[in-house]
Structure 1
C-alpha cells in the first residue's frame, strides 16, 4: 500500500488541478476526473496536517487514517468541518447512458471507466468550489 505524506498530497493536488484546467476545453469529463482527484488529495492533505498524521495510513487519537475516507470527498468535508455553504447543494450525478443516479463516491469510477455524466460542467464548477476552499485553507 502507498501511504504518502501530506506534503506529497498537497503537491499532487496542485498538479492535478493544473492538469484539469488544461484538459477542460478538450474533454470536460477527463478534466472533472482530474479535478475530483485534486480535491480528494487536497482535502486529505489538510486533514492530515490538522491531525498531525505523518502519512495517509497514520492514525492518532480520534483521527482516522486519511485512507479510511477512500474517495468520499463529502465525508472528508464533514471531517474538516467545511461549511456546507461552500459546497451545498450538491449537483446531481446522473449518467448519460441509462440515466442512473450515482453517489459522489462513484464519480471517479464513472469517469475513469469512460462514462459520461449529465451536466459535467456543473459538477466541475462544484468541484472547483471545493478546490478553492482547499487553496484558501491549506
Structure 2
C-alpha cells in the first residue's frame, strides 16, 4: 500500500489543483473531481503536519492516521478545527438524476462514476476555499 509523507501529499495537492484549473473550462465535473482529490491531499497533509505524523498510516497519541479518514473531507475539516468563517459554507450535495441529497463524502464517487451533481460550481468554489485554507496554514 502506498504510504506517502505529508510533503508528497502537499505537492500532489498543488498538482491536482493546477490540473483542475486547466480542465474547468472543458469539463466542470472532471475539474471538480480533481479538485476534490486536491483538497483531500491538502487537508491530509495539514493534518499530518499538525499532528507530527510522517506517513499517512502513522498514528501518534490521540491522533489517528490520515489514511483512516479515507475520502471524508468533512471529518478532516473537523479534525483540523477549521472554523466555518475560514472557508466557504458547504453547499448542498444533490444528484441530478436521482435528486438525492448527500454529503461531500460522496462527491468523489458520484463524479468518478459520471453522476451529475447540482451546482457543481458552488461545490468547486467550496473545495477551492479549502485549498486556500491549506495554503495559509502550512
TM-score range, shorter chain: over 0.9
Residue aligning to 2:2: 2
User: Aligned partners of 1:46 and 1:89: how far apart in 2?
Assistant: 20
Listed as ranges, the matches of 1:108-119 within 5 Å are 108-119=108-119
Unaligned runs of 5+ in 2: none
Query: Could you tell me how far 1:101 is from its partner in structure 2?
Result: 1.2
Q: Are the structure 2 counterparts of residues 95 and 111 from structure 1 closer, same or farther at C-alpha, using a change threshold of 3 Å?
A: same
Contact 2:93 2:103 (8 Å CA) reproduced = yes
Query: Could you tell me how far 1:17 is from its partner in structure 2?
Result: 0.3
Query: Could you tell me how far 1:104 is from its partner in structure 2?
Result: 1.2
Query: Could you tell me how far 1:35 is from its partner in structure 2?
Result: 0.5
Unaligned runs of 5+ in 1: none
User: Aligned partners of 1:87 and 1:109: how far apart in 2?
Assistant: 23
Query: Is 1:124–2:124 an aligned residue pair?
Result: yes
Q: TM-score of the superposition, structure 2-length normalised?
A: 0.96
Residue aligning to 1:70: 70
Q: TM-score of the superposition, structure 1-length normalised?
A: 0.96
Query: Could you tell me how far 1:78 is from its partner in structure 2?
Result: 1.0
Indicate the RMSD between aligned Cα atoms, in angstroms: 0.9
User: Aligned partners of 1:123 and 1:84: how far apart in 2?
Assistant: 15
Query: Could you tell me how far 1:49 is from its partner in structure 2?
Result: 0.9
Residue aligning to 2:96: 96
